Structure 1
Amino acid sequence: MTLLNLTKPKPKDLDTGFTVVQGNALDMHMFADKQFDIVYSNSVIEHVGSYANQSRFAAEVRRVGKSYWVQTPSRFFPVEPHFMFPFFQFLPGHVQRQIALSWRYSHFKRFGVPRERILDELSTIRLLSIREVMSLFGSEGLYREMFLGLPKSYVAFKKG
């Protein structure tokens, strides 16, 4: 198993028996085409910024994996999953900023994340619609996780 992270691995990460690689999922040039039996990504694609970056992420996943499983929260679920605030993703940027820095129920506030990191996360989180997921991965392998009749998240998958 190979783990890819933006940050340099900590010594304890190297004791897992896994191969730990520092890199960026938008450019996995260090890996060959179809090098991995499966690429697993859970709630990462919405953190890479723009749709162009999400497209690069998806292209790299499809390139390096024989199979893949990519999960992302739904843009249209009423509660934004990072800030835990109803309809947060539809509010103007200046309102989002105020909520992000003060809403005590957000994951960031609950875990004492510094202000600068909260603002950085706010600037890079971009939730996806089902149409966007389909445009990035196709509609062949697509699972909708539903909650109370609403799409909570999407999984794009390919069986190798």
Structure 2
Amino acid sequence: MNLFSDLFDSSENPNSLGAKFRQKRQAVFESLFFSYFSPNQPIRILDVGGTADFWKNSNLLNLPQLQITLVNLSTTPTSHPKLISTIGDATDLSLYTKGSFDLVFSNSVIEHLYTLENQQKMASEIQRIGKKYFVQTPNRYFPIEAHYALPFAQYWPKNLLFNVLTKTKLSRLHRWSPTAAAQYLEEIRLLDQSEMQALFPEANLYLEKVLGMTKSITAHNF
């Protein structure tokens, strides 16, 4: 049972399917990164909505002149000397000047901004302050909704989905708290390929495929 529950746990669990997909995506990112950046140059990265745990196995932390700034609505724990935690809003990064980061990175954050207007603000800020960017989000049309691991949950009425999340263990084999379920149902606005291209008009789109279907979309300008 532990093996089964691990597979369908969130991507924070290293034994989950989500973590396996994230590792593959990270390998694609690092391949692009090292094809562009010299290992010995000073490199400043801003990770919008990132955590120290996400980077713990990354080869980037071995680079001598690298610094990664994690920006979140509240500080996130970090003890690594190359990771700095700051407080900020993804839709308003006016603290930073144009082109102040060599790279802006964001993984599964832009879909948590409630509205298209907020997503447009985040995309605009990323392109303003980052010379390069790599921004990933789950695909709206993938049949298994990424946050709940339920088939076509993005199309369910919200009251039905709330009840399933809080009263059953169908979502990742556990019951959600009412507070967490309500928060996710309020904040998540999934994006599709055309919307990501519109948000990042000069980007290349990396499409992560599963059984021929697009699971996630990444906009980058490498």
TM-score normalised to structure 2 length: 0.65
Distance 1:24 1:16 in 2: 23
Task: Judge conservation of contact 1:100–1:122 (CA < 8 Å) in 2.
Answer: no
1:113 deviates by: 5.5
Count of residue pairs the alignment pairs up: 154
Partner of 2:184, secondary structure, is helix
Matched residue type, 2:80 = T
CA displacement 1:50-75 (0-9 Å, x = unmatched): 11111111111111100000000000
Distance 1:96 1:29 in 2: 37
1:104 deviates by: 1.8
Instruction: Quickly say closer, same or farther: Cα 1:86–1:8, change in 2 above 3 A.
Output: same
Distance 2:204 2:93 in 1: 23
Distance 1:129 1:73 in 2: 8
Report 1:74-153 matches (<5 A): 74-107=139-172, 110=174, 114-138=177-201, 140-153=203-216
Partner of 2:124: 59
Equivalent of 1:36 in 101, 108, 112:
101
Partner of 1:5: 72
Deviation >3 Å, runs of 4+: none
Bigger relative CO (Cα 8 Å, ≥ 6 apart): 1
CA displacement 1:36-91 (0-9 Å, x = unmatched): 11111010000111111111111111111000000000000000011111000011
CA displacement 1:104-147 (0-9 Å, x = unmatched): 2435x74x753212211111011101111111012641111111
- Give the RMSD, CA atoms, in angstroms: 1.7
Instruction: Quickly say closer, same or farther: Cα 1:154–1:9, change in 2 above 3 A.
Output: closer
Task: Judge conservation of contact 1:49–1:124 (CA < 8 Å) in 2.
Answer: yes
Distance 1:102 1:156 in 2: 36
Instruction: Quickly say closer, same or farther: Cα 1:147–1:104, change in 2 above 3 A.
Output: same
Task: Judge conservation of contact 2:132–2:220 (CA < 8 Å) in 1.
Answer: yes
TM-score normalised to structure 1 length: 0.88
Gaps of 5+ in 2: 1-67
Distance 2:215 2:186 in 1: 22
Query: Identity of paired residues, percent?
Result: 36
Partner of 2:133, secondary structure, is strand
Distance 1:155 1:116 in 2: 30
